[in-house]
């Protein structure tokens, strides 16, 4: 049985959402963050040497890393759904945004979050560069959301699942004002209207306000 080990308010929401989109059988085991540190509890850290979310088990398999898990589930259980084939005209867009999620956006927001916790002066040059990089990432997403309904094009894919966390729940950890990004807000409205997304968030993080604006 495929089991998703879900840490509240974490990148593992991507995996719950993916399973709901594919409508595949899976077990969901939820873990609460440590109330003092807001980090993963000891029993979650013990699942995998990296000690962070997401983690799945599937029979004897133990697998971490969002991208790897998404690709594994789609390859094994997806029957071609939610991914684009190499001969699809939007294949390159699909690949780009799938990897942009953790390669650029999530990494940039994570660096900015850590720098903000250092309470640096507002004009600190390192902080200024980090802010500018995150702004450029959002600018790029804003332009893409102006030109296409979903990041790969007209079709919803796992690129959208990968990006969704960073554009929404990650803003609990690193706030970002989307008022200057009306196309992203429109894109998140389309995401937020998906029944599978709603089911996933209610199962994994019940009661949590969804940052869709």
E strand residue ranges, 17-106? 27-31, 55-58, 61-64
Q: How confident is the model over 106-133, as pLDDT tens digits? A: 999 999 999 999 999 999 999 999 999 9
Q: How confident is the model over 125-164, as pLDDT tens digits? A: 999 999 999 999 999 999 999 999 999 999 999 999 999 9
Domains in the chain, please, with CATH? Answer: 2-82+198-204 (3.40.30.10), 91-194 (1.20.1050.10)
Who contacts 100 (Cβ-Cβ below 8 Å, separation ≥6)?
Answer: 137, 140, 163
CA quadruple 95, 99, 100, 101: dihedral, nearest 10: 120
Confidence of residue 38 (pLDDT cuts 50, 70, 90): confident
């Amino acid at each position: 049985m495929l089991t998703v080990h879900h840490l509240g308010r974490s990148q593992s929401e991507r995996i719950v959402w993916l399973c709901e989109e594919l409508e595949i059988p899976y077990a969901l085991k939820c873990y609460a963050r440590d109330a003092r540190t807001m980090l993963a509890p000891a029993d979650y850290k013990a699942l995998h040497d990296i000690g962070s979310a997401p983690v799945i088990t599937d029979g004897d398999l133990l697998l971490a890393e969002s991208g790897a898990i998404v690709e594994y589930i789609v390859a094994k259980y997806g029957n071609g759904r939610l991914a684009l084939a190499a001969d699809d005209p939007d294949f390159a867009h699909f690949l780009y945004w799938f990897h942009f999620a953790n390669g650029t956006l999530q990494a940039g927001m994570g660096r900015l979050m850590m720098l903000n916790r250092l309470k640096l002066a507002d004009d600190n040059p390192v902080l200024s560069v980090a802010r500018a990089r995150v702004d450029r990432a959002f600018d790029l997403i804003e332009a893409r959301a102006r030109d296409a309904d979903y990041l790969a094009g007209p079709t919803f894919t796992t690129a959208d699942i990968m990006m969704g966390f960073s554009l929404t729940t990650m803003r609990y950890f690193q706030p970002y004002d989307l008022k200057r990004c009306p196309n992203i807000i429109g894109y998140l409205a389309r995401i937020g209207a998906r029944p599978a997304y709603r089911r996933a968030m209610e199962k994994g993080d019940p009661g949590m306000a969804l940052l869709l604006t």
